[in-house]
């Protein structure tokens, strides 16, 4: 066969081979493209899976060692997928690769700081636990002593001296117990964030501690003891003034912690119902101490037969005392049944020995009287004294006698000279 006849066959053969090559190349490219698509899908799926697992690990970590191990995994995740960064920034939604890594780092930093703070406060928590135990023991001890003293009080009414001693000791013990109760509550809640409502295990932990420390029972018992104390005792004015201040402090402390206690007992309806019951008891206590306070204050003046108008509210304290002193000053020189100086002396004794050292501090602490009011009353008392201070007739008499004696002596010396002349 000639070269010319072979040429068509050769070209046909080459053409067929080219077709096969192109077909094979197309299949390879299609297979590669499919493999590439599947690989990207797997990258996206694996990253999302690892991201969620790490986020959970961060939230679940509870020790410095656990959070440190998670931190290493966050770094590894970022470096391991760095080569896919451009693809993942486009494929991930709503947070892209960079945003997801940043969110992991932020959550890691927050958890690391929280665990560090918890670790640093471990010693403080242990100290508070010891303080709670000590205060619980003190509250229980004082409650027992108070019960005994209340019983003694009922038996000792006939013996005035013994009664007064029991009353003083009981009032002091009640005040100490009341203070210890709220110191105990503060210790119980100091280890928790007071701005966050407790849930789950934290709430159960708070409930358990409140139950072990008998907090609600002790608060109710404190209110009941104080009500009984006011109802069954003939208290002195000094006692009543101090009890008034202690009641206001107790009520203020209760208002400061009752939300914390209420939050701790949200899941315990029976205990939660005790909170409004305590509010009612403290309100009754407030009413009784108010009544005793104004009664004892007015008794200070009536017992000394001073006609001070009855004082029944804070605004009347300065007004009624000022009016009384002004009336006494204006009536100096007017005949009456009582000597003006005796009236002044009786009031001045009450003012300097009872009102200023005992009553005024309580009044000022509870915004019933101001420093300016006290200074004004001091000024008026001094003015009153200047109007009624007694004349020293004895001194004047002595001066008169001396003058007469001198005159007599001088007259005696001059008489002989006149006779000689």
When the pLDDT of each residue in the chain is averaged and rounded to a whole number, the result is 80
Let me know whether 295 and 314 are in one domain. Answer: no
Q: Looking at residues 132-143, what average pLDDT do you find?
A: 84
**Cα-Cα-Cα-Cα dihedral sign, residues 117, 123, 128, 129:** positive
Per-residue pLDDT, 26:
46
Cα–Cα distance measured from residue 363 to residue 185, given in angstroms and rounded to the nearest whole number? 27
Domain annotation covers residue 175? yes
Let me know whether 282 and 133 are in one domain. Answer: yes
Domain annotation covers residue 65? yes
Cα–Cα distance measured from residue 321 to residue 379, given in angstroms and rounded to the nearest whole number? 12
Tens-place pLDDT, residues 220-243: 898 898 888 887 656 788 888 888
Domain annotation covers residue 221? yes
pLDDT reading at 149 higher than 80: yes
State the CATH number of the domain containing residue 251. Answer: 1.20.58
Give the residue numbers spanning the domain of 416.
392-421
Cα–Cα distance measured from residue 188 to residue 131, given in angstroms and rounded to the nearest whole number? 9
Let me know whether 139 and 265 are in one domain. Answer: yes
Q: Looking at residues 365-382, what average pLDDT do you find?
A: 95
Given 119, 149, 168, which residue is the final one in a domain? 119
Task: Select the more confidently predicted residue: 118 or 128.
Answer: 118
**Tokens standing for residue 281:** 């008891």
Q: DSSP secondary-structure letter at 214? A: T
Confidence of residue 194 (pLDDT cuts 50, 70, 90): very low
Element containing residue 411 per DSSP (H, E) = helix 393-420
Confidence of residue 1 (pLDDT cuts 50, 70, 90): low
Domain annotation covers residue 5? no
Question: Concatenated DSSP letters for 150-193?
Answer: HHHHHH-TT-HHHHHHHHHHHHHHHHHHHHHHHHHHHHHHHTS-
pLDDT reading at 29 higher than 70: no
Under 8 Å between Cβ of 181 and 139: yes
Instruction: Tally the residues of the chain.
Output: 421
Cα–Cα distance measured from residue 326 to residue 103, given in angstroms and rounded to the nearest whole number? 76
Cα–Cα distance measured from residue 54 to residue 108, given in angstroms and rounded to the nearest whole number? 9
Let me know whether 132 and 113 are in one domain. Answer: no
Let me know whether 191 and 219 are in one domain. Answer: yes
Domain annotation covers residue 331? yes
Per-residue pLDDT, 68:
92
Q: Looking at residues 267-283, what average pLDDT do you find?
A: 84
Domain annotation covers residue 3? no
**Tokens standing for residue 145:** 């002593």
Per-residue pLDDT, 232:
66
pLDDT reading at 302 higher than 60: yes
Q: Looking at residues 175-187, what average pLDDT do you find?
A: 79
**Total domains, the chain:** 4
Let me know whether 173 and 219 are in one domain. Answer: yes
Let me know whether 138 and 204 are in one domain. Answer: yes
Let me know whether 190 and 254 are in one domain. Answer: yes
Let me know whether 258 and 186 are in one domain. Answer: yes
Per-residue pLDDT, 421:
43
Let me know whether 183 and 297 are in one domain. Answer: yes
Domain annotation covers residue 277? yes
Let me know whether 377 and 260 are in one domain. Answer: no
Given 64, 95, 119, which residue is the final one in a domain? 119
Per-residue pLDDT, 316:
95
pLDDT reading at 292 higher than 60: yes
pLDDT reading at 253 higher than 50: yes
Q: Looking at residues 48-60, what average pLDDT do you find?
A: 91
Task: Select the more confidently predicted residue: 315 or 264.
Answer: 315
**Cα-Cα-Cα-Cα dihedral sign, residues 56, 57, 58, 63:** positive
Per-residue pLDDT, 200:
60
Let me know whether 355 and 325 are in one domain. Answer: yes
Per-residue pLDDT, 28:
39
Domain annotation covers residue 1? no
Confidence of residue 369 (pLDDT cuts 50, 70, 90): very high
Q: Looking at residues 178-199, what average pLDDT do you find?
A: 63
């Amino acid at each position: 066969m000639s070269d010319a006849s072979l040429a068509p066959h050769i070209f046909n053969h080459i053409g067929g081979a080219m077709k096969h090559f192109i077909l094979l190349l197309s299949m390879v490219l299609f297979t590669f493209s499919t493999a590439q698509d599947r690989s990207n899908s797997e990258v996206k799926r694996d990253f999302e899976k690892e991201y969620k697992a790490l986020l959970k690990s961060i939230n679940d970590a509870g020790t410095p060692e656990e959070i440190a191990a998670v931190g290493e995994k966050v770094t590894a995740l970022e470096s391991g997928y760095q080569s896919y960064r451009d693809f993942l920034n486009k494929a991930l939604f709503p947070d892209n690769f960079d945003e997801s890594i940043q969110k992991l780092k932020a959550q890691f930093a927050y958890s690391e700081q929280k665990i560090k703070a918890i670790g640093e406060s471990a010693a403080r928590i242990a100290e508070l636990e010891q303080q709670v135990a000590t205060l619980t023991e003190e509250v229980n001890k004082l409650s027992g002593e108070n019960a005994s003293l209340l019983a003694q009080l009922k038996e000792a009414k006939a013996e005035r001296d013994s009664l007064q001693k029991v009353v003083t000791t009981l009032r002091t013990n009640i005040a100490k117990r009341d203070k210890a109760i709220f110191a105990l509550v503060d210790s119980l809640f100091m280890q928790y964030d007071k701005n966050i409502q407790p849930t789950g295990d934290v709430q159960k932990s708070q409930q358990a501690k409140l139950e072990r420390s008998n907090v609600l029972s002790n608060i109710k018992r404190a209110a009941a003891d104080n009500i009984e104390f006011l109802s069954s005792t003939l208290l002195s004015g000094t006692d009543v003034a101090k009890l008034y201040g202690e009641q206001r402090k107790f009520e203020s402390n209760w208002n400061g912690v009752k939300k914390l206690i209420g939050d701790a007992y949200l899941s315990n309806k029976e205990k939660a119902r005790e909170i409004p019951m305590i509010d009612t008891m403290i309100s009754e206590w407030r009413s009784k101490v108010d009544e005793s306070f104004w009664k004892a204050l007015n008794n200070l003046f009536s017992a000394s037969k001073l006609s001070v108008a009855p004082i029944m509210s804070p605004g009347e304290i300065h007004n009624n005392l000022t009016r009384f002193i002004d009336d006494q000053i204006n009536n100096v020189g007017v005949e009456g049944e009582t000597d003006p100086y005796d009236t002044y002396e009786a009031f001045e004794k009450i003012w300097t020995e009872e009102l200023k050292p005992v009553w005024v501090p309580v009044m000022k602490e509870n915004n019933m009287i101001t420093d300016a009011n006290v200074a004004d009353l001091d000024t008026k008392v001094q003015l009153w004294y200047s109007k009624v201070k007694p004349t020293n007739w004895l001194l004047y008499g002595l001066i008169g006698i001396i003058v007469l004696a001198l005159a007599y002596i001088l007259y005696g010396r001059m008489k002989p000279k006149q006779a000689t002349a």
